[in-house]
Amino acid sequence: MTALVPPFTLETATAKVRMAEDGWNSRDPERVSKVYTPQSRWRNRVEFPVGREEIVAFLTRKWAKELDYRLIKELWTFGANRIAVRFAYEWHDDSGQWFRSYGNENWEFDEAGLMQRRFASINDMPITDADRKFHWPLGRRPDEHASLSDLGL
């Protein structure tokens, strides 16, 4: 595999998306923060974290609320130093209510391959336990698990 730095090819953009999915499925805020520039700027719903320290605090709050979080990301398109993805993730709150959250992200990278901007748009849909589609053990999604497209999402 070639380095996952701009300018992206289909191969490197696809690998970058899977690497991001794997990181987020770890639910480790420190690990996840390392793929962003020290001054990275985000828009995530109504929050606008800037820098790794704020990203860690944001993700710590997120995964304290979004329990048993499982995520699938899929490449939508890419350019020289930008990647767009669509995603869905399932989680439940502390009352046991399950949700599927859908969204899109636009990413911009620096020359070293660190993400300097992340803009996310997300919608939540309550689901029943029977409606869940993401059943792998917590952590990395198995390679043989269906993609968003395969699942009709």
Residues 102-112: pLDDT tens digits?
999 999 999 99
Q: Which domains does the chain have, with CATH numbers?
A: 10-131 (3.10.450.50)
Residues 49-104: pLDDT tens digits?
999 999 999 999 999 999 999 999 999 999 999 999 999 999 999 999 999 999 99
Mean per-residue pLDDT, 104-131: 98
Which string of DSSP letters, residue by residue, matches 3-62? -S-SSP-HHHHHHHHHHHHHHHHHT-HHHHHTTEEEEEEEEETTB--BHHHHHHHHHHHH
Is this prediction's pTM over 0.85? yes
Is pLDDT above 80 for 1? no
In this prediction, residue 2 has a pLDDT band, given cuts at 50, 70 and 90, of low
